A and B are shown apart, each in its own frame.
Chain A
Amino acid sequence: MRRFLLLFTVLMLSGVLAFSQTRVVTGRVVDNTGKAVPFASVLVQGSKTGAQTDVNGEYSIRVKTGDVLQISSTNFEVATVNITGTTSAITTELVLKANTIKEVIVTSAFQTKRTLRSQSSNVQNVSSEQLNTVRAANLNNALAGKVAGAQVRSQSAVALGRETIIRLRGENGIGVGSGPIYVVDGTIVPSSGDINPDDIDNITVYQGPASAALFGPDGANGAIVITTKTARKNTPGVGIEINSAITFDKVYITPDYQNSYSGGSGPEMYLYEWQPGQPIEWQALSGKYYHNYDDDASWGPRMAGQEYIPWYAWYGGHENSFKTAKLVPQPDNVKDFYNTGITKTNNFSFSKATDNMNVRISYTNLDVKGLIPNQYLKRNTLNTNVSLELSRRWTVAANINYVNQRRNANNDDAYSNMSTGSFNEWFHRDLDTKILRDLRNLRTPDGVYASWNLSNPDSYDPDDPASFYKANYWINPYVWFDKIQSFDERSRLFGDVSLTYKFNNDLNLTGTYRRQQLNTSAYDIYPSEIELSGVQTGFNPYGETTAETNVASYKSGISKSISQNYNLILTYHKKIRDFQVNSNAGVVVTKAHFNSYDANTSGGLVIPGVYSLANSVNPIRNNATNNFETITNYKSRALFIRADVGYRNWAFIEGTFRRDYASAEPIDFHIDTKSVGASIVFSDLIKNKRLLNYGKLRASWGQVLNSLSAYDLDIYYNQGSPVGGYPTMSIPNEIPSPTLHGAVNEEKEIGVELRGIKNRVGLNVTYWMRTNKDFPVSVSTSEASGITSYVTNAGKVDKRGIDVQANIIPVNTRNFVWDITGTWAYLLKNKVVSIAPGITRLVTAFGDYGPTSSNPLSAWTVSEEGMEWGQLHGTGIKRNDAGLPVVDADGMYIPESDVNYGSVLPKYTGGVQNSFTLFKNFFANINIDYSWGGKFFSLSNYWGDFSGLTTRTAALNDRGVPVRNAVEDGGGVHVIGVDEDGKNVDMYVDGYDYYHQFYTSKISETHVYDLSYVKLREVSVGYKFPVEKMGHLSKYITGATFSVIGRNFWLIYAKTKDFDPSEISGVQGENAQFPGTRSIGFNLKLNF
Chain B
Amino acid sequence: MRYLSKIKIFTLAGVGAAMLFSGCQKLSDFGNTDDRTDAVTQPVTSNLLTNALASIAGLQSSTRAGIRGELYSQQWSETQYSDVSTYANPQLDYGGIYSGPLMDLETIIQRNEDPATKSTVFVLGSPGNPSGSNANQIAVATIAKVYYFWNLTDRWGDIPYSEALQMADNITPKYDAQEDVYNQMLTDLKNAIAGFDDGPGVSGDFYYNGDVNMWKKLANSMRMLIALRMSKVYPNAGQLAATEFAAAASDPAGAIETNDENFARAYSGTSVAETNPFYSALNGRKDYALSKTLGDILDNMSDPRRSAYGSGGATFPYGLPREQAVAYSNSVSGAYASPFAPAYVQSTTTLVTIPAAYVLLAKAEAAQRGWISGSAQAYYNAGVTASFEQWGVSGAAAYLAGDKANFNTGTGGGTQIGFLADYAAVPNQDAVTTTPLQRIQLQRYLASFGDGLQAWSEWRRTGVPNLKPTVFATNNPKEIPRRLVYGTSEYALNKDNVEAAAGLLQGGDVMNARMWWDQ
Q: Which A residues fall within an 8 A CB radius of B? A: 1, 5, 9, 12-13, 16, 265-266, 292, 294-295, 455-456, 458-461, 503-504, 535-536, 544-548, 550, 570, 585, 587, 602-603, 618-619, 627, 629-631, 633-635, 637, 639, 641, 659, 661-665, 667-670, 710-711, 713-731, 733, 735, 737, 779-788, 790, 792, 838-839, 841, 843, 851-854, 856-857, 862, 888, 895, 897-898, 999-1002
State whether A784 and B159 are in contact (beta carbons under 8 Å apart), knowing that A619-B271, A631-B37, A721-B273 are contacts in the complex. Answer: yes
SS of A interface (majority): mixed
C-alpha gap A713/B30 in the complex (Å): 15
Q: Which residues of B (21-65) have their CB < 8 Å from a CB of A?
A: 21, 25, 27-30, 33-34, 36-44, 46-48, 50-51, 53-54, 63-65
Name the distance in Å between A896's Cβ and chain B's nearest Cβ.
13
Contact, CB under 8 Å: A714 / B43 = no
C-alpha gap A295/B273 in the complex (Å): 33
Contacts A668-B28, A788-B96 given; 18 further ones with Cβ under 8 A? A5-B18, A265-B326, A663-B33, A668-B25, A716-B39, A719-B40, A723-B51, A726-B47, A728-B48, A731-B43, A735-B168, A780-B492, A783-B96, A784-B164, A792-B168, A838-B171, A895-B89, A1002-B91
What would 18 A/B residue contacts be, using CB atoms closer than 8 Å?
A: A292-B326, A503-B9, A570-B13, A618-B270, A619-B271, A629-B38, A634-B33, A639-B21, A670-B27, A718-B40, A722-B50, A724-B54, A733-B100, A780-B493, A782-B171, A786-B102, A843-B492, A888-B476
State whether A503 and B6 are in contact (beta carbons under 8 Å apart), knowing that A664-B34, A713-B34, A786-B164 are contacts in the complex. Answer: yes
Name the distance in Å between A1084's Cβ and chain B's nearest Cβ.
51
C-alpha gap A547/B168 in the complex (Å): 37
Q: Is B122 an interface residue (CB 8 A)?
A: no
C-alpha gap A48/B286 in the complex (Å): 95
Cβ of B43: which chain A residues have Cβ within 8 Å of it?
717, 729, 731
Contact, CB under 8 Å: A663 / B17 = no
Which of B216-224, B275-283, B406-414 interfaces with chain A?
B275-283
Cβ of B168: which chain A residues have Cβ within 8 Å of it?
735, 737, 781, 785, 787, 790, 792
Name the distance in Å between A337's Cβ and chain B's nearest Cβ.
26
Cβ of B53: which chain A residues have Cβ within 8 Å of it?
723
Q: Nearest chain-B residue to A710 (Cβ)? A: B34
Cβ of B104: which chain A residues have Cβ within 8 Å of it?
729-731
Contact, CB under 8 Å: B206 / A726 = yes
Cβ of A12: which chain B residues have Cβ within 8 Å of it?
10, 13-14
Contact, CB under 8 Å: A1002 / B89 = yes
Q: Which residues of B (314-371) have their CB < 8 Å from a CB of A?
A: 322-323, 326, 329-330, 333-335
Q: Which residues of B (64-97) have their CB < 8 Å from a CB of A?
A: 64-65, 81, 83, 88-89, 91-97
Q: Is B203 an interface residue (CB 8 A)?
A: yes
Name the distance in Å between B409's Cβ and chain A's nearest Cβ.
43
Which of B112-120, B439-447, B457-465, B483-491 interfaces with chain A?
B483-491
C-alpha gap A504/B170 in the complex (Å): 64
Q: Is B284 an interface residue (CB 8 A)?
A: yes
Name the distance in Å between B62's Cβ and chain A's nearest Cβ.
9
Q: Which residues of B (119-172) have their CB < 8 Å from a CB of A?
A: 159-160, 163-168, 170-172
C-alpha gap A186/B104 in the complex (Å): 48
Contact, CB under 8 Å: A735 / B28 = no
- Number of residues in B with C-beta < 8 Å to the partner? 109
Q: Which residues of B (245-302) have their CB < 8 Å from a CB of A?
A: 265-266, 270-275, 277, 279-287
Contact, CB under 8 Å: A547 / B171 = no
Contact, CB under 8 Å: A546 / B280 = yes
Name the distance in Å between A587's Cβ and chain B's nearest Cβ.
7
Cβ of B287: which chain A residues have Cβ within 8 Å of it?
536
Contact, CB under 8 Å: B99 / A853 = no
Cβ of A999: which chain B residues have Cβ within 8 Å of it?
83
Cβ of A710: which chain B residues have Cβ within 8 Å of it?
34
C-alpha gap A570/B12 in the complex (Å): 12
Name the distance in Å between A661's Cβ and chain B's nearest Cβ.
4
Contact, CB under 8 Å: A1000 / B88 = yes
Cβ of A667: which chain B residues have Cβ within 8 Å of it?
28-29
Name the distance in Å between A271's Cβ and chain B's nearest Cβ.
12
Q: Nearest chain-B residue to A461 (Cβ)? A: B333
Contact, CB under 8 Å: B13 / A585 = yes
C-alpha gap A635/B103 in the complex (Å): 34
Q: Nearest chain-A residue to B160 (Cβ)? A: A784
State whether A711 and B47 are in contact (beta carbons under 8 Å apart), knowing that A265-B322, A639-B21 are contacts in the complex. Answer: no
Contact, CB under 8 Å: A458 / B330 = yes
C-alpha gap A246/B256 in the complex (Å): 76
Name the distance in Å between A1066's Cβ and chain B's nearest Cβ.
18
Cβ of A782: which chain B residues have Cβ within 8 Å of it?
160, 171-173, 489-490, 493-494, 497
Contact, CB under 8 Å: B50 / A728 = yes
Contact, CB under 8 Å: A787 / B99 = yes
Cβ of A730: which chain B residues have Cβ within 8 Å of it?
48, 51, 100, 104
Contact, CB under 8 Å: B33 / A633 = yes
C-alpha gap A787/B166 in the complex (Å): 9
Name the distance in Å between A857's Cβ and chain B's nearest Cβ.
6
C-alpha gap A535/B265 in the complex (Å): 30
Cβ of B270: which chain A residues have Cβ within 8 Å of it?
618-619
Interface string of B467-499 (1 = CB under 8 A from A): 000000010100000000001111111110100
Q: Nearest chain-B residue to A1002 (Cβ)? A: B89
Q: Is B420 an interface residue (CB 8 A)?
A: no
C-alpha gap A79/B160 in the complex (Å): 83
Q: Nearest chain-B residue to A531 (Cβ)? A: B284
Contact, CB under 8 Å: A783 / B98 = yes
Instruction: Identify which of B36, B44, B476, B493 contacts A716 (C-beta below 8 A).
Output: B36
Contact, CB under 8 Å: A780 / B50 = no
C-alpha gap A719/B286 in the complex (Å): 34
State whether A659 and B272 are in contact (beta carbons under 8 Å apart), knowing that A12-B14, A723-B206, A731-B48 are contacts in the complex. Answer: no
Instruction: Identify which of A735, A792, A843 contacts B167 (C-beta below 8 A).
Output: A735
Contact, CB under 8 Å: A785 / B171 = yes
Q: Nearest chain-A residue to B170 (Cβ)? A: A785
C-alpha gap A544/B272 in the complex (Å): 7
Closest 10 CB pairs of A and B: A724-B206, A545-B280, A784-B160, A782-B494, A663-B30, A729-B47, A781-B171, A786-B103, A716-B39, A663-B33
Q: Is B194 an interface residue (CB 8 A)?
A: no
Name the distance in Å between B241's Cβ and chain A's nearest Cβ.
27
Instruction: Identify which of B88, B93, B98 contacts A785 (C-beta below 8 A).
Output: B98
Cβ of A854: which chain B residues have Cβ within 8 Å of it?
63-65, 92
C-alpha gap A718/B43 in the complex (Å): 9
Contact, CB under 8 Å: B17 / A585 = yes
State whether A618 and B37 are in contact (beta carbons under 8 Å apart), knowing that A459-B330, A838-B171 are contacts in the complex. Answer: no
Cβ of A627: which chain B residues have Cβ within 8 Å of it?
38
Contact, CB under 8 Å: A781 / B172 = yes
Q: Nearest chain-A residue to B494 (Cβ)? A: A782
C-alpha gap A648/B271 in the complex (Å): 77
Instruction: Identify which of B10, B165, B333 contacts A13 (C-beta below 8 A).
Output: B10
Contact, CB under 8 Å: B21 / A547 = no
Instruction: Identify which of B38, B93, B173 contacts A631 (C-beta below 8 A).
Output: B38
Contact, CB under 8 Å: A714 / B36 = yes
Cβ of A5: which chain B residues have Cβ within 8 Å of it?
17-18, 21
Name the distance in Å between B462's Cβ and chain A's nearest Cβ.
27
C-alpha gap A779/B266 in the complex (Å): 39
Cβ of B378: which chain A residues have Cβ within 8 Å of it?
none
Cβ of A852: which chain B residues have Cβ within 8 Å of it?
63-64
Cβ of A639: which chain B residues have Cβ within 8 Å of it?
17, 20-21, 27
Name the distance in Å between A27's Cβ and chain B's nearest Cβ.
22
Contact, CB under 8 Å: B51 / A720 = yes
Q: Nearest chain-A residue to B65 (Cβ)? A: A854
C-alpha gap A1002/B488 in the complex (Å): 12
Q: Nearest chain-A residue to B68 (Cβ)? A: A854
C-alpha gap A87/B142 in the complex (Å): 94
Q: Nearest chain-B residue to A630 (Cβ)? A: B38
C-alpha gap A784/B474 in the complex (Å): 31
Contact, CB under 8 Å: A16 / B3 = yes
C-alpha gap A737/B168 in the complex (Å): 8
Name the distance in Å between B121's Cβ and chain A's nearest Cβ.
12
